[in-house]
Every structure is written in structure tokens, then in C-alpha cells.
């Protein structure tokens, strides 16, 4: 069994669909033209026959039924090119004479209006005619008037016109095929340019794909460029992480090596504390850089459920700070999804809520909002807040405004780093009634 194989290329698919469809539509139009032409011709002929019958009837009535005062049937046949029958009890006129065997039976017919006679085998007469019959009374005498036309001649004229229409249709089909071929090739030119751009990107001639493409390709090119941006950012983060680690651990390791290499100095408790502090610095730096390396940033196809994640974190914070109340305010539905990697959202909410839990007196509130494409996270607490002069410093790496509170000063810096990767912004402000308000808008 032979099955249709779909063309592998878009161009082939378009041509396979459009070309046969265009030819089929033109063929349907040609057949419809033939049917409409025959119908219109039939209606036109019927109207003419009816008008000529009315004219003859009017002439007979005006002459009070006297045929002698009228033009003969031959005259009407020459003028109107139709066959005529004028019949009364005293006289019958049929023109032309060769139609007499064909029209005589119609005189005795009781049918009025249009009459069709087909497949006639009378010598000298047409085989297919259309007649219009009318019977009436004039001067108290019955009359019958019949006007007929040879449909064979009409069909020959229609066939000739239909043949010319077929020739014109073939020319139009040829033009349409050329137009479809040209249109498909011009449309695919954009794909060829995009392919060339990808080749230049592969060769290193360009760093991004040109956006001067048709509107349909804009989302594709934009996503590819975003993917390239994401890869560049990850490479830059990896390089920065290696540089940071190299710079940060070099000094502590050198200090430890110096202490351990000095055999003349015993390892008393003070030196042990110094070594432990240096190793602690190395451990903190490694932990911070490992956490940064896990941040994905925006990724196509990755999303999370913010309401579900917020509830889980608030429950955890409630266990961590049992004396304080953590509340969630959100109008988002449970199945609402945000285009943020789940780990990144967990890190953002976890750090901000943990800071709020440390500094609050009794209450912490988390608000999740969405207005159109904008997503907003707001965390407020009822703690002492931050001096206005210090608000701009929040999020700086290693900054701790209160050395008495446990921590390394890396939390908000990590949040700042994640937020910047999403092209979002974070704003710190004091509440009018006291406490800190953290607003993150994606």
C-alpha cells in the first residue's frame, strides 16, 4: 500500500499543498462557470420567448383576431430568429415550414408556459428546442401562440464560450502556479537569511542573531539570543567564581601555611583560633560561591508555583521562629505559575523571610501580587527598620549592619545577584509604623 510521504522541507510542504489546491479551485470555478452559463442562457432565452409571445398576443388582440392584418410568421422568424406558431380555428401559421412536424403537437397540448422538446428525430427540424406556449381569447375566438428556439445552436455558442473560458483558465492557472512558486521562494528567503546568520554565529563572525527577520520569526530569534545571553552569563559567573575563590582563599591559606611552617612557635590556643578563623573564612567563601553557582537565572520552559512554595517556606519559618507570626497575603490562584526557576525563588524567599524573622518583634507578612506581566514579592516586618542612610547599602556583599546578629552578611547580596540575573529590581524601604519593607518586582 502506497502512503503519502510528507515533504521534509517547509517549502516542499507549501508547494505540495498550494499548487494542487490552486489547480483544483480553478477547475471548480470552470465547472461552476459552465453550469451558471447554461442556467443564465436558459433564463435569458425563456424571458425573450415570453416577451415575443406577449408581443404576438398584443398584435392579435389589437387586430381583433384578424391574421390578415398582421405580419406573417415568416416576417417574425426573420426579425427575431425564432420559430413561430399562430393558430386559430380558421387558420394556422407555422414558420419555418420545416419545424411544422415538431411544433404541430404543441398546438394541441394543454400545457402553458415553457415547454422542452428533446431528442427529436424529425428530418429538417432541430433535435432539442425550448418553446413558450400561450392560449387566449380574442374577439370571442380561441388563439394559440408559440415561439420556439433551437437549443442546439445555443449550446454550440455556449460550448465555444466555455472553451475560450477553459483557455483563459489554463493561462490563469499557469500564472497562479508561477505566483505561488515565486511567493513561496520569496517567503523562504527569510529562512535562508536566518540560516546564514546561524552560520556566521557558528563561525564567530557575530555574537548574536540579527533581529531583522519577519514577525513570525521574532520569538524564535529572541529566545535564541536570550539563550546565548544566558550561556554567556553562566560562563562569566563561572569565571568570576573561580577568580573570587582564587583571590579569597589565597590569603587565608598563606596565613595557615605560614603558621604551620614556623616550627619554632608552638601551637597554643591563640594560634589554633587563628587557624580555625582562617579555615572558617575559606569555608564561608566556598559555601557562598557554591550557592551562587546553583542559581540558574531565567530559563525557557522553567517555572514554579509561587503560592505553594511560599506556604512551605512560611511553615518552615514558623518552626524556626516559633514566637513570631508569618502570614501570607495573595490573590493568586493555587495553580498560578511564574517563569522563575524553583530553586531561585526558594533562595530569594528563604533569605528575605529569614532576615525578617531575625529582626521582627512579632509579625512578618509575605505578599505575592501579579498585575499583567509584572510579578511582585513584598516582605514586611515590624522590627526596628534601617537608618535611611544605610538603606542604599543593603545588599552589598559582606555588609552587616549589626555584628551582634548571627550571619555572614552574604544573604541579601545573594538575593541581589539572583534578582539582577532576571532583570528584576529590589527596593528596600522603611514602613511608616516601623519595620523594613523589601519589594522585589519581576
- The CATH number given to whatever domain includes residue 144 is 3.30.450
Regarding whether 357 and 311 lie in a shared domain, the answer is: yes
* Residue-level pLDDT at 239: 66
Spatial neighbors of 71 by CB under 8 A, at least 6 apart, are: 59
Alpha-helical runs (H) found in 63-150: 73-80, 100-107
Spatial neighbors of 145 by CB under 8 A, at least 6 apart, are: 53, 56, 57, 60, 84, 85, 86, 87, 133, 134, 135, 136
Task: Give the CA radius of gyration of the chain.
Answer: 48
CA separation for the pair 207, 197 (Å, rounded): 10
Q: Is residue 170 part of a domain?
A: no
Regarding whether 366 and 318 lie in a shared domain, the answer is: yes
Q: Is 367 helix (H, G, I), strand (E, B) or coil?
A: strand
Regarding whether 137 and 33 lie in a shared domain, the answer is: yes
* Residue-level pLDDT at 75: 57
* Residue-level pLDDT at 403: 43
Regarding whether 114 and 64 lie in a shared domain, the answer is: yes
User: Which among 155, 174, 203 is the end of a domain?
Assistant: 155
Phi and psi at 127, nearest 5°, equal -90, -20
CA separation for the pair 63, 143 (Å, rounded): 13
Which residues of the chain, if any, have pLDDT below 70? 1-10, 65-81, 124, 203-204, 235, 237, 239-252, 254-260, 262-267, 271, 274, 281, 284-302, 395-410
* Residue-level pLDDT at 195: 79
Please give the tally of structural domains in the chain.
3
Regarding whether 368 and 265 lie in a shared domain, the answer is: no
* Residue-level pLDDT at 404: 43
- For residue range 349-378, list pLDDT tens digits in order: 888 888 888 888 888 888 888 888 888 888
* Residue-level pLDDT at 25: 81
* Residue-level pLDDT at 270: 72
Regarding whether 258 and 379 lie in a shared domain, the answer is: no
- Domain with residue 382: its CATH number is 3.30.565.10
Regarding whether 347 and 273 lie in a shared domain, the answer is: no
* Residue-level pLDDT at 321: 86
CA separation for the pair 281, 278 (Å, rounded): 5
Is 423 within 8 Å of 405 (Cβ atoms)? no
* Residue-level pLDDT at 1: 46
* Residue-level pLDDT at 6: 56
* Residue-level pLDDT at 138: 81
* Count of positions (residues) in the chain: 442
Alpha-helical runs (H) found in 133-217: 151-203
* Residue-level pLDDT at 401: 47
Regarding whether 312 and 290 lie in a shared domain, the answer is: no
Range of the domain at 256: 229-294
User: Which among 267, 294, 321 is the end of a domain?
Assistant: 294
Regarding whether 290 and 310 lie in a shared domain, the answer is: no
- For residue range 165-175, list pLDDT tens digits in order: 778 878 887 88
CA separation for the pair 208, 342 (Å, rounded): 28
CA separation for the pair 186, 338 (Å, rounded): 39
Best CA proximity match to 96, nearest among 71, 76, 116: 76
Peptide linkage before 265 cis (omega within 30 of 0): no
* Residue-level pLDDT at 80: 58
Element (H, E) at 41: helix 10-62
CA separation for the pair 85, 73 (Å, rounded): 7
CA separation for the pair 394, 401 (Å, rounded): 9
CA separation for the pair 353, 310 (Å, rounded): 10
| pTM of the complete model | 0.44
CA separation for the pair 304, 175 (Å, rounded): 54
Instruction: Count CB-CB contacts under 10 A for residue 351.
Output: 20
Amino acid at each position: 500500500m502506497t502512503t503519502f510521504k510528507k515533504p521534509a522541507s517547509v517549502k516542499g510542504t507549501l508547494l505540495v499543498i498550494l499548487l494542487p489546491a490552486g489547480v483544483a479551485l480553478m477547475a471548480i470555478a470552470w465547472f461552476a462557470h459552465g453550469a451558471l452559463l447554461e442556467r443564465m442562457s436558459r433564463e435569458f432565452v425563456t424571458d425573450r420567448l415570453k416577451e415575443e409571445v406577449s408581443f404576438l398576443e398584443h398584435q392579435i388582440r389589437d387586430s381583433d383576431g384578424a391574421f390578415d392584418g398582421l405580419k406573417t410568421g415568416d416576417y417574425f422568424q426573420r426579425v427575431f430568429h425564432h420559430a413561430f406558431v399562430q393558430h386559430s380555428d380558421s387558420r394556422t401559421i407555422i414558420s419555418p415550414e420545416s419545424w411544422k412536424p415538431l411544433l404541430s403537437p404543441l398546438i394541441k397540448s394543454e400545457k402553458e408556459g415553457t415547454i422542452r422538446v428533446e431528442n427529436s428525430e424529425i428530418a429538417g427540424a432541430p433535435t432539442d428546442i425550448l418553446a413558450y406556449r400561450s392560449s387566449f381569447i380574442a374577439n370571442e375566438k380561441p388563439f394559440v401562440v408559440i415561439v420556439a428556439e433551437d437549443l442546439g445552436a445555443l449550446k454550440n455558442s455556449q460550448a465555444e464560450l466555455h472553451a475560450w473560458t477553459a483557455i483563459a483558465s489554463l493561462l490563469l492557472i499557469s500564472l497562479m502556479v508561477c505566483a505561488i512558486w515565486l511567493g513561496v521562494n520569496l517567503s523562504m528567503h527569510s529562512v535562508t537569511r536566518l540560516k546564514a546568520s546561524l552560520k556566521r554565529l557558528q563561525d564567530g563572525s557575530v555574537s548574536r542573531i540579527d533581529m531583522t527577520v519577519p514577525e513570525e520569526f521574532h520569538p524564535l530569534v529572541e529566545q535564541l539570543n536570550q539563550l546565548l545571553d544566558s550561556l554567556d552569563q553562566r560562563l562569566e559567573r563561572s569565571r568570576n567564581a573561580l577568580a573570587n575563590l582564587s583571590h579569597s582563599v589565597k590569603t587565608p591559606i598563606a596565613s595557615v601555611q605560614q603558621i604551620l611552617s614556623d616550627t619554632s612557635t608552638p601551637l597554643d590556643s591563640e594560634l589554633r583560633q587563628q587557624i580555625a578563623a582562617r579555615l572558617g573564612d575559606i569555608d564561608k567563601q566556598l559555601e557562598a560561591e557554591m550557592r551562587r553557582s546553583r542559581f540558574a537565572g531565567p530559563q525557557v520552559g522553567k517555572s514554579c508555583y509561587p503560592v505553594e512554595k511560599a506556604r512551605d517556606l512560611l511553615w518552615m519559618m514558623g518552626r524556626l521562629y516559633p514566637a513570631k507570626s508569618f502570614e501570607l497575603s495573595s490573590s493568586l490562584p493555587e495553580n498560578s505559575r511564574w517563569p522563575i526557576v524553583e530553586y531561585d525563588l526558594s533562595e530569594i524567599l528563604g533569605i528575605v523571610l529569614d532576615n525578617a524573622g531575625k529582626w521582627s518583634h512579632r509579625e512578618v507578612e509575605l505578599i505575592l501580587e501579579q498585575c499583567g506581566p509584572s510579578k511582585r514579592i513584598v516582605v514586611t516586618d515590624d522590627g526596628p527598620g534601617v537608618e535611611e542612610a544605610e538603606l542604599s547599602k543593603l545588599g552589598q556583599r559582606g555588609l552587616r549592619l549589626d555584628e551582634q546578629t548571627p550571619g555572614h552578611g552574604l544573604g541579601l547580596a545573594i538575593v541581589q545577584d539572583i534578582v539582577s540575573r532576571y532583570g528584576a529590581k529590589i527596593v528596600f524601604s522603611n514602613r511608616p509604623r516601623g519595620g523594613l519593607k523589601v519589594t522585589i518586582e519581576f
